Amino acid sequence: MSTPVVRKVPTSPYKDQHPGTSGLRKKTRVFMDKGYTENFIQSVFNTLKEDPGLDLSKQSLAIGGDGRYLNSEVMQTILSMAVANGFGEILVPRRGLISTPAMSAVIRQRKALGGFILTASHNPGGKEGDFGIKYNVSNGGPAPETFTQRIYELSLSIDHYLTSGDIEFQIDNETEYHIGSTKVSVIDPFTDYQTVLEEIFDFNKIADLFKSGFRMIFDGMHGVTGIYAQHFLEHLLGAPQGTVIRGNPLPDFGGIHPDPNLVYNSFLLDKMMANDALDFGAANDADGDRNMIFGHNLFIPPGDSVAVITDMARRCIPGFKDGLAGVARSMPTSTALDRVAKNLKIESFETPTGWKYFGNLMDAGLCNICGEESFGTGADHVREKDGLWAVLSWLSIISETGKSARDIILDHWGKYGRSYYERHDYEEMDSDKANEMLSNMRKRLPKLKGMSLSGIEITHADEFNYVDPVTKDVSERQGLRFFLSDGSRIITRLSGTGTKGATLRIYLEQFDAENIDRDTATMLKGLSSSVANLLKIPKYFGSNKPSLIT
Ligand code: VG1
Ligand code: CO
């Protein structure tokens, strides 16, 4: 056991360490500025230390990341600071690599106080890309807003941080050792996650599907999920080698933008739209919490995917054989899930954007399955969205029903009707102008009722404010909403995960009970151009062409 020399290093505050929708995200180079990372980490520790009943020497802290540029360096920084701040145990996945849902499982299974996940999620990586740090609390989910707000407040007045100097922590192999009174446990990144997944799914049944000749493609996009997909799909479930493509984690994700959507992953789109495409395809983002699902020649939108999984859960997923208590979706996510919940006679909750809002509902046993339009789907086995869980859910449904993913979604639309859905993003906009635009629109909301948009009447317009049904915490200004007389909805809000300027998101949804085979872009064309005019987008941004449509 070596004895660490604890050093108190003077530092000055940075003014921008406000965690957004999911952790602190900045350009990688910002995290390389002197003391930037240390300030943020110490502010998290200082927030924890404000609880007088908490003795860190009796607590475990988990640390890992998605393997992007700076992962190894920041691992060492946090390890050293965690020792100096007196944690009893530090849990580190082998080589510091872990997916976001697997980290959530580690925290829950090992009853850790919390964990750091080094990721900017689906944002690009590399020295010129983005880096990020998320802190998750003891339920395994992202820290709630009250906690992140306190981190920010403390970061504004920080004057020193604690570190134990130049220890080189060995994290390459599973082992246990002590540095002073802190135990460092290097753990397998799969075990805890596998335990929780095995409680939900019938692995033998999914293995039989592969034995029967079923073939799929899984795209790891060079993030961390590739190693999980290889472990679960190829090693445990018997999918042939080569099922997982782009499976090796790379510090810059091989130069790709590791966001599984139709634009940034046109590679998989092309494969699944080809004549010889397989029956099922999926991709995950860099840290494994987002997923994109395809049937043969058919993209399955995330809002529909969560609706199908919910509808089929009781019949096809053993972990849900007793039924569901409820479901939840973020407010801008399509209402497809609500129609299933109504049919199943279960509760359906509508929350602000960001997975942290689902945690309280799950902890209180109010909901089991959740979804976001941004390619996030998951359940109460962990407190994060879980890309691989979504894939295993679809495989369970395919194996139980004996139908292809394509037929499953077509049957679903036939039964429930279809929400045509798109999100239009205006990226890297001038922040002041974006805020001015929204604030002007906010003022006009009360006058919009009765006005026509693309020939359809606006029946109601408001701003979404949320009161957490469990904690009663209030989250205000979570998006402007326009409801139309034909059941269409338009929502707009600013992103909380960007690292440059402002990103305006416009979410468009049009429901059709009968016509389920129309082209989405054509269906939404009218809504799209009329909302751009309503918001006066050309006036504020000089163009009414979104930079990204998903
Ligand atoms: C976006 C998505 C949101 C998601 C969040 C984190 O947030 O819209 O649904 O929960 O990213 O996902 P925003 O504020 O930029 O719209 V991830 O995969 O980055 O952890
Ligand atoms: Co992610």
* Mean pLDDT along residues 356-376: 95
pLDDT at 431 over 70: yes
10 Å Cβ neighbour count for 384? 31
pLDDT at 178 over 80: yes
- Choose, from 60, 99, 121, 488, the residue flagged as catalytic: 121
Asked if residue 183 lies in contact with residue 59, where contact means CB atoms within 8 angstroms, the answer is no
pLDDT at 499 over 80: no
pLDDT at 21: 77
- The verdict on the CB of residue 497 being under 6 Å from ligand 1 is yes
- The verdict on the CB of residue 376 being under 6 Å from ligand 1 is yes
pLDDT 10s digits, 245-292: 999 999 999 999 999 999 999 999 999 999 999 999 999 999 999 999
Phi then psi dihedrals of residue 453, to 5 deg = -125, 115
121 is catalytic: yes
DSSP-assigned states of every residue in 487-528: S-EEEEEE-SS-SSSEEEEEEEEEEESS--SS-HHHHHHHHH
- Mean of pLDDT over the chain: 95
Residue of 497, 503, 505 best suited for mutating to test ligand 1, as the one with most atoms within 8 Å of CB:
497
Residue 4 confidence class, pLDDT cut points 50, 70, 90: confident
466: its two tokens? 């949320």
- The verdict on the CB of residue 22 being under 6 Å from ligand 1 is yes
CA 285 to ligand 2 center in whole angstroms: 6
Residue of 133, 224, 353, 421 best suited for mutating to test ligand 1, as the one with most atoms within 8 Å of CB:
353
- The verdict on the CB of residue 353 being under 6 Å from ligand 1 is yes
CA 289 to ligand 2 center in whole angstroms: 5
10 Å Cβ neighbour count for 150? 17
* Mean pLDDT along residues 338-356: 95
pLDDT at 1 over 70: no
* Mean pLDDT along residues 310-318: 98
pLDDT at 278: 95
Distance of CA 324 to the CA centre of its chain: 22
Tell me which of 7-16, 217-226, 323-332, 443-452 is least confident.
443-452
pLDDT at 356: 85
pLDDT at 358: 95
pLDDT 10s digits, 119-151: 999 999 999 999 999 999 999 999 988 999 999
Residue type, 187: I
Asked if residue 354 lies in contact with residue 371, where contact means CB atoms within 8 angstroms, the answer is no
Q: 3-state DSSP call for residue 285?
A: coil
pLDDT at 13: 98
pLDDT at 544 over 90: no
Of 74, 174, 184, nearest to 119 (Cα)? 74
Instruction: For the chain, give the percent of residues with pLDDT over 70.
Output: 100
Residues within 5 Å of ion ligand 2, judged at the Cβ atom: 121, 285, 287, 289-290
Q: What share of the chain is helix, strand, coil (3-state, %, to 5)?
A: 35, 25, 40
pLDDT at 455 over 90: no
pLDDT at 543 over 80: no
CA distance 481 to 468: 19
